[in-house]
Structure 1
């Protein structure tokens, strides 16, 4: 008994508990300041650059479900939120102010993910394009890969007020891309702990890579080993810059891609032309071109219309509200009647008494919806039927797209007073008033190979 009592005395549980707490209190700050994982590119960029956009916790869309966004007597409709999507189908960046170019909002849809698929038919390629004759690149969206919704994108712009002692002043902007990724074993547990301690209890470990914001120079293309290739986007196959060697192998695993994963940068000298219902040069002031947009440079949504559609969905435990971000608009307006936008032909956004910040657009056609909005932008989980079912049932309104649902409008920036393409730009700001200049009928024209 005496022997046992001596052994027990050696294991003073209070002392052991105190020692464990002391170790944890000591280690936690060390892990935060010196995490046992590689430093993110964003941590380095923070020394010389500033992040573009509005923090999610301060989003203008936090109130998107409020009744105050409905039309009210004495209140003028306005821009509620602005979004760009630097990489097609990934998380967007919310802005307070956006530059409008002939190709749309600055930095929108510059990149697209693609997969190398076996060719089913022969395709025309540009001279010098690097492609395997038995396969071809085809763009990817949330339709095929719903987990793209969890790929976060940030733009970092040079900040003249910042200078790193080690790096000096870095020129040029960057696109930082993050996706959920946790290694196996002990390292993965450490990554999980560091993520939660540094970014909150709901945080998960992430892997990051960066891309240049501006189109690379020939010297950079050669140095980085980039190649040009055709990538199929709907019926087009634009010549674009293949920058797939910048992708970490883990991204394809996370997304669940069946074929080789690539990423392409739109080539400013080989943009896709916009035809169909777009106005001619004499009306818009320029030849309509786009990067990796679906069909037109700018997409507009009406919050009141989103709420009207929401009232038609079959609610269940997976969907009871419709987040406007499901529809990936650039301009989100409030204060209008439901579906008021359906017959717009021309619209202007302005601040009262400030004509220098006016932006004008041709409203070219309605947005015909596919099943992409079934993907929850917050989780990447695809609902089996909604809101596609409600759209097809209640929004089959365009004779040019029978049995399809329409929601939102496709816009083309116009610059009727400018003749120099390099001077064609305007500004959009949250809070600008909506001024509908012309109304009329629309007939959707399907894309066709040219």
Structure 2
């Protein structure tokens, strides 16, 4: 016969079990209605959209240091990888194929972050400005990895509507969006919840992030007014760009993370007001249209040769902060393999086409004018994986071993700038080419270059 103490213990255990069961039954509906892990925008978009890009685990650059990418006699060089950068200087998106428009790859450099220019009022004149025609600098100036290396840690996801997906609550949802994410954790209890939520939702290696979403479809005048956007000038290098200011969309925490003490905004170029490219670019009289750009530095596309990357790497002084030279440091759109080192230096016109064995129907390739060499600044010193800027490399090696263009003395040149060539230019719908990983490269013309 059980003792009194054993009976009391049994009742206590039963009471505890009943209490816990009651709590669980009560809490589960609350968790369903008000989940402890915040619902991210990607969770909602996944119901109706598909995310653009190749997962990092399947990247075509996983083996970028392999000698298999070097020149091999009898084997055609090819496109190894393609990248777009929807927000200038932020993380790129690797794709398997892309449309090519007069402005370059689709979705490339649509947006750029800008900081308030502390010298906007009563500033000294820029080089080349007339003293007799003083003017104020723009209130904003575009920021890049050159000034703010932590932009490398700002991730960008691009979501496109998927006709095969339907949300039970929303039905089919259109629109194209980017979700911009950056590392962020609040202080105190809120920060602990954010840290826990990140681990539960994205794995033990995840860190808390803050995000915001933008449409990549340019807004109508009514939408601009309703959202409080406005057109404004922003300084881009030494030039002023008139673009749409979307300051209302940028959370103040981003400036804190980036270490920028002044207000930050994000700008979008109006597709009707893109900048025409001249300098070394082909002219309308010759190719039927004038190349244009959004927030690209100077030309629509940038090409990089993996074999050349490895050749430059052999000259670079490596250390703990630079163990190998990642091609992504140079922020190319088109990364090619199977060429001799620096073979691209004298290209003037090239064609990309499908390998003969993979093309069931003979189609013309995509032709590009190789407008000039890419004159490098110190931006490649920033590690694209960490946002840490190396003190000297690869800038030192570029200036020492790649000072090859008389138009850019004392500067290193690496990679090539391209402009697309369209076979028909009478109809805007004809101004489109396509590129795909695996396409073969044919050099149509070679000749000298002189940077302007």
Match of 1:184 among 187, 196, 199: 187
Flag the structure with larger Rg: 2
Cα distance between partner residues in 1 of 2:136 and 2:74: 63
Shift of 1:196: 2.3
Structure 1 residues 32 and 267, CA gap change in structure 2 (3 angstroms): same
> How many Å separate the matches in 1 of 2:426 and 2:343?
32
Mapped to 1, the partners of 2:239 and 2:36 lie a distance apart of 46
Equivalent position SS for 1:210: strand
Tell me the equivalent position of 2:102: 102
Counterpart pick for 2:207 among 204, 207, 213: 204
1:357: how far off?
6.1
Q: 5+ unaligned residues in a row in structure 1: which ranges?
A: 1-8, 10-22, 124-131, 446-450
Are 1:358 and 2:365 an aligned pair? yes
1:223 counterpart = 2:230:
no
| Distance in 1 between residues matched to 2:387 and 2:393, nearest whole Å | 14
Aligned partners of 1:438, 1:105: CA distance in 2, in Å?
A: 23
Q: Are 2:280 and 1:277 aligned? A: yes
CA distance in 2, matches of 1:32, 1:343: 62
Return closer, same or farther for 1:181/1:357 CA change in 2, 3 Å cut-off: farther
User: How far has the Cα of 1:356 moved from its partner?
Assistant: 3.2
Counterpart for residue 388 of structure 1? 395
Alignment of 1:139-178 (within 5 A): 139-178=142-181
Q: Distance in 1 between matches of 2:144 and 2:177?
A: 22
Contact 2:54 2:94 in 1 (8 A): yes
- How do 1:51-450 and structure 2 match up within 5 A? 51-117=51-117, 118-119=119-120, 120-121=123-124, 136-353=139-356, 354=359, 355-356=362-363, 358-445=365-452
Number of aligned residue pairs: give it: 422
2-structure distance, mates of 1:93, 1:134: 33
Shift of 1:185: 1.5
- Pair 1:31–1:403, CA change in 2 (3 A): farther
Computed over aligned residues only, the root mean square deviation of the Cα atoms, in angstroms, reads: 2.9
Change in CA separation of 1:32 and 1:293 when aligned onto 2, cut-off 3 Å:
farther
- What CA distance in whole angstroms lies between the structure 2 residues aligned with 1:436 and 1:199? 45
Match of 1:63, SS state, is coil
CA offset digits 1:182-230 (Å, max 9, x no partner): 1112221222222223323321111110011111111211111110001
Question: Does the Cα contact within 8 Å between 2:99 and 2:434 map onto a contact in 1?
Answer: yes
SS of equivalent residue, structure 1 residue 413: strand
Tell me by how many angstroms 1:135 deviates: 5.5
- Where 1:356 maps in the other structure, the secondary structure is coil
What SS is found at the alignment partner of 1:170? coil
Deviations 1:86-119 (A, max 9, x none): 0000000000010000110001000000111122
Report the TM-score when normalising by structure 2. 0.88
Write the distance in 1 (CA, Å) between the matches of 2:355 and 2:32.
49
TM-superposed CA distance for 1:121, in Å, is 4.2
| CA–CA distance in structure 2, aligned partners of residues 56 and 35 of structure 1 | 29
Instruction: Provide the secondary structure at the position in 2 that maps to 1:238.
Output: strand
Indicate if the aligned counterparts of 2:289 and 2:425 stay in contact, CA closer than 8 A: no
The runs of at least 4 consecutive aligned structure 1 residues that moved more than 3 Å come to 30-35, 132-135, 352-357
What is the CA–CA distance in structure 1 between the aligned matches of 2:448 and 2:422, rounded to whole Å?
A: 23
Once the two structures are superposed, residues 358-407 of structure 1 have per-residue CA deviations (whole angstroms, 9 ceiling, x without a partner) of 21100000000000000000000000000001101111100111110010
Cα distance change on mapping 1:402 and 1:178 into 2, 3 Å: same
* Inter-partner Cα distance in structure 1 for 2:74 and 2:110: 40
- Corresponding residue of 1:4: none
Q: Quick check: 1:111–1:292 contact (8 Å CA) kept in 2? A: yes
Shift of 1:271: 1.1
Contact 2:137 2:235 in 1 (8 A): no
Deviations 1:145-198 (A, max 9, x none): 100000000110011111112222111100110000011122212222222233
Partner residue of 1:18? none
Q: Say whether the 8 Å CA contact 1:284–1:413 is kept in structure 2.
A: no
Q: Tell me by how many angstroms 1:288 deviates.
A: 1.5
Aligned pairs for 1:6-21 within 5 A: none
| TM-fit CA distance, 1:315 | 1.1
SS at match of 1:193: helix
Deviation per residue, 1:223-279 (Å, 9 max, x gap): 111100011112321210000100111101101113221100011121112111111
What CA distance in whole angstroms lies between the structure 1 residues aligned with 2:31 and 2:340? 53
Q: What is the Cα deviation at residue 348 of structure 1? A: 0.5
Q: Could you tell me how far apart the structure 1 residues matched to 2:32 and 2:304 are?
A: 41
Structure 2: gaps (5+ residues): 1-8, 10-22, 127-134
CA distance in 2, matches of 1:416, 1:236: 32
Instruction: Give the conservation status (yes or no) of the 8 Å contact 1:35–1:194.
Output: no
3-state DSSP of counterpart to 2:363: strand
